[in-house]
Each structure stands twice: as C-alpha cells, then as structure tokens.
Amino acid sequence: MKSNAGVYVHIPYCLSKCSYCDFVSSRIDNTFEEYINLLEQEIYLWKSKSSINVDVDTIFFGGGTPSLLSPVQLDRILSRIVKTFAITNNCEISIESNPDTLNIEKLKDYKKIGINRISIGVQTLDDSILKEMNRRHSATQAIRSVLDAYNAGFTNINCDFILGLPSETRATIDNNIKAISELPITHVSTYFLTLSPNVPLSKRLQNNDIMLPTENSTIINWETMVNKLKDMGFTHYEISNYAKKNMECRHNLHYWNLDQWFGIGIASTGNLLTEDKNLKTLKRYTNFKKFSEYKESVKNGLLPEETFELVNGVKKVNEECMLGLRLINEGIPYSFVKNEYKVEHLLENGYIKFINDSIENNYEKHAQEKRIGLTEKGVLVSNQVISSLFID
C-alpha cells in the first residue's frame, strides 16, 4: 500500500530574531509579498511532474513565523496547493505561529480558509526567561493565544516548549505544566535548548551573564514533564512529542515514517520516491537558501532545487532505524538488529525494551514480529542508543 504524502511550505520570515535561533529565517522586509507570489509559482511548477500522482493528506506551514501571513495571503497559497495536488478529504492543514502575531479575528479567518491545526511557539511561561530569549511575547499573551485559537474553533492545538533554558527552575516547569493542564491543548512538543556558538545567547553564557541549569535538574525537569503529561492523558509518541488520543501530528508522522513529502519554498527539503520504485530509492532535495537564487530559478520556470541526495541501501536502513526508534511505541523490528550483543546490553540496562504486543492499536501491525523501542531512560540518551544500532 502506498502511503499518502505531505506538503511542507516554508515561510522564512520573523519579526525579530530570538537570541537562541540559528534557523534560516530573516527579518520581514519588502520581499515578503514577492515571496508569496514566488511560492504560488513554485507550486504551479509541480503541476507537470509525475511525482504528484500521490494523495496529499497533510499540509504544513512552517518557519520562521508563518503566522505573519494574512489569511488572504495564506488562502492564495493554499488554494494553489489544492489546485495542484490531489488533496484528500480529511487533509490535516497546520500552521506554526508565534503568540505576538495572533488575534482572535485572524485565527477565525485561518479556520475559515481551512486551517485545522495550529502550533503555537510558547517555549516557556516565565516572562523574564522569554525576555532573555528575545521572544516578542509575554506568558499572558501566549496563554491568551491558546484560548483565542480554541475560541476561533481550533480543536487541534499544539504548543512548543523548550527545556533547559537559562535560569529555568523546577517552579518554571511546574508553572508550564499547570498551564498545559488548564488549557485546551491537545499536543505538546518539547525539546532541549541547543545552542550554536554564534548565537547571542551563547555569547551571554560565555560572558557568564547567565547560567544554564545543571544537567541533573534538566533531567529531573524533563522527567517531571513527561510524567505529568502522561498523567494528563498525553501519549509520549515521539522523542519530543506528546499527543492526546488521536491527536498526533499526521504531517510529522510522514517524516518519521519516511513517507513522501514535497518541500516548497526557500530552504525546504522534500523527499520523494524516484522512478526506481522497486528499489525504493528516495530522492531528498533541498531548495535554494538564498532569496536571489530561489527567485531566479522559479522565474525561469525551474523547481528551485539546490542540492539533492539519493537515500537507499544502508542510508535508508539507518534512517528507518533512527526514525523508527523516535516513534516510542512503534520502534523497529528486532530482526533489524545486526549486533545482538549490543542489543542485549541495551535491553539489560533498560535503554530499550520490547514493545508490548498487547498495545491495542499496534497489535495487528506487529503481532508477527517482535519490536524494540526506546525506554524513557533510552530517550534521554537516544543518540547513543540509535547510533550504536546503525549498520555499516
């Protein structure tokens, strides 16, 4: 059975730069409107491609700050996608947003044009930390936008949180957890703060202006968060994602299942099956990162692909291992493992476990074969565990 595909649209603009951020995003400027036109043209370029003979059941606007798009602009892009790709009935259409760019009216309009899932960059609910991170919103604003989204009719609401932030304490975490429990949030993403050396926050750390929490307290905070989320009825379904029942992000699942997806826009990555369907080789392309190059390509009627790599053989097996293990309750078949000694060691020490066959929704799928997956302890050192299971 061929799986459906996703469409990812990148909006590389923000109002200002957060102090920990090194993503491809630039300050919003007069190219913004032009970029939207280019996106429409780029989407149109796919029309003639055979690879679009696949049903698209998720669309995701990511960034940057896609919520900078007015409902009208968003609608233009969305309609173009709908006209170009074969969109399924129950298509999940997500948008990432930052609280300072949202209001109830805008959210209602988003809902109206078909957006049915919203992801809000909350990060933390401590105002002084938000300030240090150069976020443009307060805790109150963040809470407000969750409620606005709900009141605008969104029933699928994700909030992003970052752990291990400077001056974060147990109280910070408790406060975040309390808010999650009280708000109509159906999905949570958490990840640890990672800093590249050249971002402003790194400089502040080097100068000892601020301090990161200790490894120990970050671990405890993470464990607390995981346990509390579980108590609230969230399933820890992916290393850094938690969802209420049936509220998993279907778009992101395409990534983790190594399905196909189209990447649209500057610096976007797409992943499509090549003609060589028997070998299941994937072509993973990445678009130009520079506006001028992106623009020139699209203007010339060419898909703005800058680089690509073919993913098959060992690469693909290892990606399946890596992504499969990210999905906590899916894992990978035991038969995948080449180094049994290594696995015994990981099992004995509680980094991986056999996934319980009786988990209802997995039963049919995996009854035939034993599967292994990460334990909570294993999630914390997932890089170590996964890389040790890679094949050569």
Interface residues with another protein (CB under 8 A) are 8, 62, 163, 189-192, 194, 215, 218-219, 222, 239-240, 252, 254-256, 261, 263, 267-271, 284, 286, 309, 311, 315, 318-319, 322-323, 326, 345, 349, 351, 379-384, 386-388, 390
Q: Which is nearer to another protein, 85 or 256 (CB)?
A: 256
- Tell me which stretch binds ligand SF4 (CB under 6 A): 61-69, 211-219, 239-247, 298-306: 61-69
What is the chain's percent helix, strand, coil content, to nearest 5? 45, 25, 35
Q: Choosing among another protein, ligand SF4, none, which partner's interface includes residue 234 (Cβ < 5 to 8 Å by kind)?
A: none
Q: H/E/C letters for each residue in 329-355? A: CCCEEHHHCCCHHHHHHHHHCCCEEEC
Q: Does 25 bind ligand SF4 (CB under 6 A)?
A: yes
CB of 4 or CB of 268, closer to ligand SF4: 268
| Cβ pair 303, 39 in contact under 8 A | no
- Quote the least distance from Cβ 246 to ligand SF4, whole Å: 28
Q: What residues between 90 and 149 interact with ligand SF4 by CB under 6 A?
A: 98
| DSSP 8-state secondary structure symbol assigned to residue 114 | T
Alpha-carbon torsion angle 262, 373, 216, 188, nearest 10: 40
Which CB sits closer to another protein, 245 or 345? 345
**Contact of residue 239 among another protein, ligand SF4, none (CB under 5-8 Å per partner type):** another protein
215 binds, among ligand SF4, another protein, none (CB under 5 to 8 A by kind): another protein
For position 176 contacting ligand SF4 by CB under 6 A, the verdict is no
Give the span between the Cα atoms of 298 and 46, in whole angstroms: 11
Minimum distance of another protein from residue 194's CB (angstroms): 5
Q: How do beta strands 260-264 and 5-11 pair?
A: parallel
Q: Give the Cα separation of 172 and 163 in Å (integer).
A: 10
Which residues have CB under 8 Å from 315's CB, separation 6+? Answer: none
Piece of 10-18, 79-87, 203-211, 327-335 that binds ligand SF4 (CB under 6 A): 10-18
Q: Where does the chain have alpha helices with state H?
A: 32-45, 71-84, 104-112, 127-132, 139-151, 170-182, 200-206, 215-231, 250-256, 291-299, 313-326, 340-348, 360-366, 376-380, 382-389
**Residue bearing tokens 């000694």:** 341
Instruction: Using alpha carbons, select from 67, 77, 65, 71 the residue that is nearest to residue 7.
Output: 77
Please give the Cα distance from 67 to 157 (Å, whole number): 14
- Quick one: what does residue 8 bind among ligand SF4, another protein, none, with the CB cut-off 5 to 8 Å set by partner type? another protein
Residue type, 219: I
Restricted to residues 342-361, the positions that interact with ligand SF4 (CB under 6 A) are none
Among 6, 64, 99, 304, binds ligand SF4 (CB under 6 A): 64
Of the two residues 104 and 303, which places its CB atom closer to another protein in the complex? 303
Mark the segment that binds ligand SF4 (CB under 6 A) among 16-24, 37-45, 150-158, 279-287. Answer: 16-24
Under the binding rule (CB under 6 A), the answer on residue 287 touching ligand SF4 is no
Instruction: Give me the sheet containing 55-63, strands edge to edge.
Output: 235-238, 241-243, 187-192, 157-163, 117-123, 86-97, 55-63, 5-11, 260-264, 269-273, 282-287, 305-311
User: Does 14 participate in binding ligand SF4 (rule CB under 6 A)?
Assistant: yes
Tokens, residue 196: 């590249």
Pick from 4, 65, 101, 186 the residue near ligand SF4 by CB under 6 A.
Answer: 65
Minimum distance from residue 202 beta carbon to ligand SF4 (Å): 14
63 makes contact, choosing from ligand SF4, another protein, none, with CB < 5 to 8 Å by partner type, with ligand SF4
The yes or no reply on residue 17 touching ligand SF4 (CB under 6 A) is yes
**Shortest approach of another protein to residue 315 CB, angstroms?**
7
Distance CA 373, CA 365 (A): 15
Beta strand 282-287 pairing with 269-273:
antiparallel
Q: Is 191 in the site for ligand SF4 (CB under 6 A)?
A: no
Output the smallest distance, CB 37 to another protein, in A.
23
Q: Closest separation between CB of residue 289 and ligand SF4, Å?
A: 14
Binding footprint of ligand SF4 on the chain (CB under 6 A): 14, 17-18, 21, 23, 25, 63-65, 98
